[in-house]
Amino acid sequence: MLDTCAAADGEDRSAAEVLAQWLPTGRIGHVHVNDPNKRAPGQGDMCFGDVLGVVARSGFGGYISAEPFVYEPSGLAAAAVAAGYLRGLAEQIGDGS
């Protein structure tokens, strides 16, 4: 599993670079996407385009889940922002699934 928030806090390189190294090994079964500010993707400064690009190019078949720890303004709103933001990025890179 790779957690983008933990990777941002604990690695000396980007989450996308870590994924590019480890996805081909088959050792990553799922990816948690969350911003280092503990909010959902699209609610902070981390750009997830590179992360989703690496995932798409790798042919990864596992799960990608938004995992915020701060639900602002509410859980439903955080989920809606994350879903819309990630869907938009997926469409940009050509993986609108």
% of residues, the chain, pLDDT over 70: 97
> What does the block give as tokens for 83?
């879903």
C-alpha separations of 85 from 12, 21, 50, 92, 95 in Å: 26, 25, 13, 11, 13
Q: Structural domain boundaries of the chain?
A: 2-92
Q: Report yes or no: 19 and 28 within 8 Å, Cβ to Cβ.
A: yes
d(CA 66, CA 78): 9
Looking at per-residue confidence, does 58 or 94 come out higher?
58
What are the phi and psi torsion angles at 46 (to 5°)?
-70, 135
The chain-wide mean pLDDT, for the chain, equals 92
- pLDDT on residue 88: 96
In this prediction the pTM is 0.87
Categorize the per-residue pLDDT at 10 as very low, low, confident or very high, splitting at 50, 70 and 90. confident
pLDDT value, residue 8: 84
Q: 96: exposed, middle or buried (C-beta count within 10 Å: 0-12, 13-18, 19+)? A: exposed
